[in-house]
Amino acid sequence: MLTSTTPDPALAPGLWDELVRLVRGGDVCVLTGAGISTESGIPAYRGADGERRVTPMTVSELLRSPAARQRYWARAYTGWPRFAAAEPNDGHRAVARLQDLGLVGTVITQNVDGLHQQAGARDVTELHGSLSYVVCADCGERYAREVVDEWLAGANPHFDREISGQVRPDGDVVLTDEQVAGFRIAACVVCRSDRLKPDVVMFGESVVRPVVDACFEAVDRSRALLVLGSSLMVMSGYRFARHAAREGIPVAAITHGVTRADDLIDVKVDAPLGPTLRRLVEAVAA
pLDDT tens digit at each of 286 positions of the chain: 555 444 454 446 588 999 999 999 999 999 999 999 999 999 876 555 545 566 778 999 999 999 999 999 999 999 999 999 999 999 999 999 999 999 999 999 999 999 999 999 999 999 999 999 999 999 999 999 999 999 999 999 999 998 877 777 788 898 999 999 999 999 999 999 999 999 999 999 999 999 999 999 999 999 999 999 999 999 999 999 999 999 999 999 999 889 999 999 999 999 999 999 999 999 999 8
What three-state secondary structure class fits 29? Answer: strand
Helical axes 273-285 vs 15-24, angle rounded to 10°: 60
The rounded distance, in Å, linking the Cα atoms of 269 and 7 is: 9
The binding site consists of 136, 139, 188, 191
Strand pairing class (224-228; 142-144) = unpaired
Binding-site positions for Zn(2+): 136, 139, 188, 191
Domain regions of the chain by residue span = 1-42+87-128+206-286, 53-85+131-200
Task: Considering the candidates 92, 128, 243, 256, report the single residue annotated as catalytic.
Answer: 128
Superfamily of chain region 53-85+131-200: SIR2/SIRT2 'Small Domain' (3.30.1600.10)
Task: Tell me, yes or no, if 128 is annotated catalytic.
Answer: yes
Assigned architecture for domain 1-42+87-128+206-286? 3-Layer(aba) Sandwich (3.40)
3-state secondary structure of 115: helix
